[in-house]
Amino acid sequence: MSHRPLDISGLPSYRFSHHSLMWWGVMGMILLEGTAFALTIAAYFYLWSQAQTWPLSTTPPELFWGTLNLVVLLLSAWPNHWTKRAGEDGDEPKIRIGLVICALFGIVLIAIRGFEFTALNCRWDSDAYGSIVWLLLGLHTVHLVTDVYDTIVLAGVFFFTQPLEGRRHVDVSENGLYWYFVVLTWIPIYAVIYLFPRVSS
Amino acid sequence: MNPVLERTWRDPPGVVGWFSSIDHKTIGRRYLVTAFAFFVGAGIMAALMRLQLARPENTLIGPDLYNQLFTTHGTVMMFLFAVPVMQGMAIYLVPLMVGSRAIAFPRMNAFAYWVYLFGGLFIFTCLLFNFGPDAGWFSYVPLAGPEYAPGKRADVWAQMITFSELSGLLAAIVVIATVFKLRAPGMTLARLPLFVWAMLATAFMILFAMPSVMLASTALILDRLVSTHFYNPAEGGDALLWQHLFWFFGHPEVYFIFIPGLAFMSSIIPTFSRRPIFGYPAVVMSLTATAFLSFGLWVHHMFATHIPELGKSFFTAASMLIALPTAIQIFCWIATMWTGRLLLATPMLHMLAFFFILVLGGMTGLMVASVPLDLQLTDTYFVVAHLHYVLIGGAVFPLFGAWYYWFPKITGRMMSERLGRWQFWLFFIGFNVAFYPMHHLGLRGMPRRVYTYTDEMGWGPLNLLATAGAVTIAISVLLFTINAVMSLRRGMLAGENPWGAGTLEWATSSPPPSYNFDRQPIVRARDPLWEPPLGELREPTAEPTHIVGLAEHTREVLVTTVQDAIPDHRLAFPQPTLWPFVSAIAVAIMFLGSIFTPWAIVWGGIPVALFATLWFWPKREETDAAIAIEKRP
Amino acid sequence: MQSILQSAGPQAAHIESLWWLTLAICTVVFLAILVAVAWAVMRKRRGDAATPPDISFITKKERGAELAVVAGLGVSLLGLIVLTVASFVTDRALASLGAPDLQIDVTGHQWWWDARYDDQDKSKIFTVANEIHIPVGKPVLLRLRADDVIHSFWVPNLSGKKDMIPGRDATLTLQADKPGIYRGQCAEFCGAQHAKMAFLVIADDKYEEWAAAQRKPAPQPSSDQQKRGRDLFVDGRCAMCHAIQGTTANARHAPDLTHLMSRQTLAAGAVPNSIGHLAGWILDPSSIKPGSNMPPNPMEPDDLHALLAYLGTLK
């Protein structure tokens, strides 16, 4: 019985998007964290459905910092896209610039988020409304902070470790993908925290 | 045996090497041994409970210890045995079954194991020091809340959840990525072994369900630690929020346990019937349907609450409906056995037990699916009987059979058939003697979770019988342990494929070499080992049979496409490393600290972030080796 | 006693009928599957690991097996539909009990029950603990609440259970068709003494007399010893938690004791109601219910006898 080999040594050492293993890992994280967000929002609406008034005993959160956050997050999608493309093109100088810009956006956003927490008009321990608002905002903040940290670390890798494997370009692309998740999830969360209590009566 | 590959892929020697291993077979074995140890621990708790309940008004164990015992028994069995053991089977077997050298994200896989181990050690330690959790394995509020559960017991429970959920979620991602991207060329999705389909479905379910209990337990910890009010009705919170969040996870969870049991059935029955399974597409669709449907049942755990009746009716219909995909699989297995040639060895006996025990449990499941019946039966010993019949019949018996089946592959030796039969019959008889009477006890009004009962209730004789059954189970588990330990040294040598099975894990030595396969196969059919050898085809083709071209002096893996497993690219894989172990320790410290203060997240998070960074940071040696063989797209 | 299969009222009876129907169908299905498996196993077509697997099945059409599986599926679906419809029919039946004219507010506490008999006429409202009497043959509405953690009201001879959840009201309607004593027990784990949180529902054909007696305040103590006992109660710790109508003790943290001697058990069914058990309970509740919220009350024998003498008048 003969054994005929298939030679795959000509295949590349990395590929982007859904071809890459890392993409599936990031997607898995997005799925489970998206589920966590969805469930937290569901809990918010569940508590609302049990309440006589909403918010329970305070005014809705101030619009300014949250909306500023929304605007800056949406704006950050552009350098994120630019950096992601640079990663897919393997353009390391561009990657370095892009990662720094993204990291700066991220730091600004974290600062804005800090102010948001002070303008919520409720405390986590005031009542169930305060608790769920802080939890929802807190969950998104955890993702924001960890992704900004990831971006900074990745920037560090690109600045301080040479030469780089080509696979690091895939990491840049995946980091960009995850940032889209952070941006996109903010939209419904913003609507729930800031807009819903203004329209529910 | 390929010495170059062996040196490249083996676990490093020594103590440091032991903690640095990222080989899926090593990690898989560790899951199995750890889960079995936890199973025995939780089983001892059950034995103690049964001894206390053997007589009315017994004073062997008082209420405080008893409440810790039943809580920890359930918690350990569900979170620290049943789910992780199935993940461990997947981690060991899936890469072999799909023809891969390695599992995806091997370091994260190792990390998940350590987190699991630490979570388990944590809860056992707390129990030994008399602050084990004591509010039941599903920890209802307000009983588990800040007002009625003083001390740290409920926090121990909630934080153990965090450990086991983190571990479970990461392991699920590992399985999904492996199944989708690391299959041998030619193993299209339509050729995936049913075991792999089932583990894939389970992994997806885990991704969507575990976040719910993470959320629930986080909110509980916050209520207890920093005075949030998620579950406090006085401040707009709701005790039922806990139940919804918990059971939205909790119902799918039993399917994380049951579906792998189905995986074992679909792997082992065909082998011992000497034919491919009947109805492969139907089984795949049934597994998928079960996975989806399981998310629509959770309210059946809440039928006794004040939820509107119309809503409950939906869940009755859904809970009845989910019987159908399981029925399809049962019929397919019966058809397979009917038309096959049966070998009734120990693994197969365990599969046959499923038809008795699980089916009986499924019948009582139909009973409690009905709202009015459930209103009498829920929270009684009837439900205790039901849940043990489905879990033990549907998962534990197949698991023990699976261990007899794959023990030769994992260790290279056969287990004793004779001891196996004794163990099987003792378990089967002991199980039924222990749990069947509980149906009657429930019908006669005995509620769950009671540390004692009075003589005049008349529950004494059946309880005594159940205790006798429990002792028999304990003996059978002891026999199994003896069989396993003895066989490790003195079992018959197994060879590559002692059962004449058809899937790829049997196409390599027992135990497999560190690099899994001498030659990575190309697959042309389901049950690759059962397809006709090339030389016997009427029209021999020039199709290739195996791959070459991956580096051998460094770790490199072939990545294929999702649907048709076409070779896509080569991927350099990481070397063994201590970072997963060290990071898990940092995470454990962070979780443990946060039982006492929320600042532990901040202070504990710093070393976690640091270690994770060092873990990810490219190592000069690995990078250079990867660059040397790199081909850019 | 406390059995699902000895229904004494329409609610439990409807459920019991559903039980028997379901049991019958499930038994048939179970046996059918066992027979099918047994038949497959006993067909004596044996193989072993060396038997070549029959791979003709990869391409062969298995019409017979396909038909059998589809037939099995059809029969299963039919059975499930029957069970589901039967369940919905029973649901409807349970909701069709007549309009109740007696309403009792039952509140679950760790680890006892209080029951407040409601009435349009405020002067007719009264409160009892752990033992609930109801008229025979008439529907009763129970409004269920919980004071601390989740409890569940379950008297299987009369009805399915209903959870009592803090912050929410639930209702249960039931009816007893025969006079009798029906034992119930808390059916949601509620902490240390969940096992000993029982109650009695007594379908009383002399219900009106019982209710009239319960409405009366406690009699004035006649003997000196009884008076001393009353004073010990009212001036001491007892009155901090317990109420006795007709005295100044009116706290609501523990069972109302106005008619303590009219009850069959003490401590929510933990022990029979006798002077000996009462003495033991008062002196050290944790000897009967470890973890109980009632503190121990060590006292001089004279004081104890006086207290018992007084409590003995609370019929």
Contacts of B125 (CB under 8 A, 6+ apart): none
Asked if B304 lies within 8 A of C65 by C-beta distance, the reply is no
Across-strand partners of B251?
none
Cβ distance of A6 and B548 shorter than 8 Å: yes
Q: Which of residues 171-230 of B touch A (CB under 8 A)?
A: 172-173, 176-177, 180-182, 185, 207-208, 210-212, 214-215, 218-219, 222-223, 226-230
Asked if A21 reaches chain B (Cβ–Cβ under 8 Å), the answer is yes
User: Mean pLDDT over residues A40-55, rounded?
Assistant: 96
Q: Which residues pair with C152 in a beta bridge?
A: C163
Q: How far is CA B217 from CA B167, B242, B281, B581, B604, in A?
A: 15, 9, 39, 25, 19
Number of helices (H) and strands (E), helices first, in chain A?
6, 1
What is the pLDDT, as a whole number, of residue C101?
A: 87
Residues of chain B neighbouring A25 (CB-CB closer than 8 A): 104-105, 108, 173, 177
Q: Which residues of C touch B445 (CB under 8 A)?
A: 1-4, 156, 183, 185
pLDDT score at A128: 97
Residue B243 to residue B299: CA distance in whole angstroms: 9
- The predicted-structure confidence for B377-427, as pLDDT tens digits, reads as follows 999 999 999 999 999 999 999 999 999 999 999 999 999 999 999 999 999
Predicted pLDDT of residue B213: 97
Q: Among all chains, which residue has been given the structure tokens 């069914």?
A: C269
Residue B368 predicted with pLDDT over 80: yes
List, as ranges, residues 103-142 from A with C-beta within 8 Å of B.
Answer: 124-132, 134-135
**How far does C275 lie from chain B, in Å, by closest CA?**
20
The verdict on B618 touching A (C-beta cutoff 8 Å) is yes
CA–CA gap between residue A71 and residue A183 (Å, rounded): 10
Q: Average per-residue pLDDT in chain A?
A: 95
Q: Which residues contact A52 (CB under 8 A, 6 or more apart)?
A: none
Tokens matching residue B434: 């222990």
User: Across the interface, which of C76, C192, C193 has its CB nearest the CB of B327?
Assistant: C76
The answer to whether residue A2 sits within a structural domain is no
B135 to chain C, any CB pair closer than 8 A? The answer is: yes
Q: What pLDDT does residue B315 have?
A: 97
Cβ contacts (< 8 Å) between C26 and chain B: which residues?
A: 363-364, 366-367
CATH number at residue A188: 1.20.120.80
Residues whose CB falls within 8 Å of the CB of residue C69, separated by 6 or more in sequence, listed in order = B278, B279, B282, B328, B331, B332, B335
H-state helical runs in C56-198: 63-94
Residue A14 lies in a domain: no
Q: Mean pLDDT, to the nearest integer, of C233-248?
A: 95
Beta bridge partners of C181: C202
Within 10 angstroms of residue C46's Cβ, the number of other Cβ atoms is 12
Task: For residue C83, name the pLDDT band (cuts at 50, 70, 90).
Answer: very high
Q: Which residues of A touch B214 (CB under 8 A)?
A: 36
Reply yes or no on whether the pLDDT at A1 is more than 70.
no
pLDDT tens per residue, range B154-178: 999 999 999 999 999 999 999 999 9
Handedness of CA A151, A153, A156, A161 (dihedral sign): negative
**Region B18-37 average pLDDT:** 98
Q: Is residue A11 part of a domain?
A: no
Tell me what the mean pLDDT of segment B341-367 comes to: 97
For residue C77, which residues of chain B lie inside 8 Å, CB to CB? Answer: 324
Confidence of residue B351 (pLDDT cuts 50, 70, 90): very high
pLDDT average, residue stretch C138-154: 97
How far is B278 from B259, CA to CA, in rounded Å?
18
Do residues C172 and C154 touch, judged by C-beta distance below 8 A?
no
A185: in domain: yes
DSSP C243: B
Q: pLDDT tens digits for B47-106?
A: 999 999 999 999 999 999 999 999 999 999 999 999 999 999 999 999 999 999 999 999
Q: Chain B contacts of A26, Cβ < 8 Å?
A: none
Q: Provide ipTM, 2 decimals.
A: 0.96
Residue with tokens 């719910």: B212
Residue of A nearest to B172 (CA): A28
And the tokens for B368? 């409690």
Whether residue A7 lies inside any domain: the answer is no
pLDDT digits (tens, 9 = 90+) for B119-134: 999 999 999 999 999 9
Most C CBs within 10 A among B59, B75, B306, B510, hence the mutation to make, goes to B306
- Return the number of CB contacts < 8 Å for A and B: 209
Q: How close A153 gets to chain B, by Cα (Å)?
A: 7
Gap between the Cα atoms of B490 and B485, Å rounded:
9
Any chains having at least 3 CB pairs less than 8 A from chain C are B
Chain B residues whose beta carbon lies within 8 Å of the beta carbon of residue C156: 376, 445
C306 in contact with chain B, both atoms CB, cutoff 8 A? no
C-alpha B236/C-alpha B615 separation (Å) is 44
Q: With beta carbons less than 8 A apart as the criterion, state whether C89 and C25 touch.
A: no
First to last CA, chain A: 78
Give yes or no for a cis peptide into B511 (omega within 30° of 0). Answer: yes
Average pLDDT over residues C280-297: 96
Residue located via tokens 């792997």: B267
For the segment A13-41, the average pLDDT, to the nearest whole number, is 97
Closest-CA distance, A139 to chain B, in angstroms, reads: 10
According to DSSP, residue A41 is labeled: H
- Six-digit token string for B470: 């429990």
* 8 A C-beta contact, residue B376 and residue C185: no
Q: Are B102 and B571 in contact (CB under 8 A)?
A: no
Contact C136, C176 (CB under 8 A): yes
Contacts of C50 in chain B (CB under 8 A): 500
Chain-centre distance for alpha carbon B226: 33
Residue that the structure tokens 């929270």 belong to? B379
Q: CB A64: neighbour CB atoms within 10 A?
A: 13
Nearest to B324 among C12, C76, C193 (CB): C76
> In this structure, are residues C193 and C174 in contact, taking their beta carbons and an 8 Å threshold?
no
C84 in contact with B, Cβ within 8 Å:
yes
d(CA B466, CA B433): 6
Averaged pLDDT, B367-382: 98
* pLDDT tens digits along C182-199: 999 999 999 999 999 999
**How far is the alpha carbon of B180 from chain A, nearest alpha carbon, in Å?**
9
Q: How far is CA A31 from CA A144, A191, B173, B217, C2, in A?
A: 16, 21, 10, 20, 48
Smallest Cβ–Cβ distance between B316 and the set C84, C163, C187 belongs to C84
Q: What is the 3-state secondary structure (H, E, C) of C5-28?
A: CCCCCHHHHHHHHHHHHHHHHHHH
Number of domains in chain A: 1
Q: Is A28 on the interface with B (CB under 8 A)?
A: yes
Q: Do B623 and A173 meet the contact criterion of CB atoms below 8 Å apart?
A: no
SS3 category, B336: helix
Paired sense of beta strands A5-7 and B546-548, if any: parallel
CB proximity B366 to C under 8 Å: yes
Residue B238 touches chain A, beta carbons under 8 Å: yes
In one-letter notation, the amino acid at residue A163 is: P
Q: Is B338 on the interface with C (CB under 8 A)?
A: yes
E strand or H helix that includes residue C198: strand C198-204
Which residue has 């992704």 as its token pair? A147
By the 10 Å C-beta count (0-12 exposed, 13-18 middle, 19+ buried), A59 is classed as exposed
CB < 8 Å to B522, chain A: 6
Q: How far apart are the first and last CA of chain B?
A: 33
Query: Is the pLDDT confidence value at A201 over 70?
Result: no
- Cβ atoms of A137 and A193 closer than 8 Å: yes
pLDDT tens, position by position, A84-129: 999 999 999 999 999 999 999 999 999 999 999 999 999 999 999 9
Distance CA A54, CA B377 (A): 38
Residue A13 lies inside a defined structural domain of this protein: no
Range of the domain at A64: 20-52+60-200
Q: pTM for this structure?
A: 0.97
Cβ separation of A36 and B241 shorter than 8 Å?
A: no
When the pLDDT of each residue in chain B is averaged and rounded to a whole number, the result is 96
B444/C contact by beta carbon, under 8 A: yes
Q: Decide: helix, strand or coil at residue B471.
A: helix
Closest chain B residue to A6 measured between Cα atoms? Answer: B547
Residues 257-286 in B contacting C (C-alpha not used; CB under 8 Å): 273-276, 278-279, 282
For position A4, what pLDDT does the model report?
A: 84
Distance, CA of B176 to chain centre: 15
Distances (CA, A) of B450 to A29, B57, B396, B595: 41, 11, 25, 29
Token pair listed for C159: 């009805």
Residue B557 backbone zone (phi > 0: left; psi -120 to 50: alpha; other: beta): beta
Highest mean pLDDT of the ranges A2-16, B69-83, C48-62: B69-83
C42 Cβ under 8 Å from any chain B Cβ: no
Show the tokens assigned to C71.
């037939």
**DSSP assignment of chain A:** ----EEE-TTS-S---GGGSHHHHHHHHHHHHHHHHHHHHHHHHHHHHHT-SSSSSSSPPPPHHHHHHHHHHHHHHHHHHHHHHHHHHHT-HHHHHHHHHHHHHHHHHHHHHHHHHHHTSSS-TTT-HHHHHHHHHHHHHHHHHHHHHHHHHHHHHHHHHS-SPPTHHHHHHHHHHHHHHHHHHHHHHHHIIIIIHHHH--
What is the model's pLDDT at position B539?
Answer: 52
pLDDT band at C44 (very low <50, low <70, confident <90, very high): confident
Q: Does A9 reside within a domain?
A: no
% pLDDT > 70, chain B = 98
- Give the tens place of pLDDT for each residue, A117-161: 999 999 999 999 999 999 999 999 999 999 999 999 999 999 999
**pLDDT value at position B535?**
47
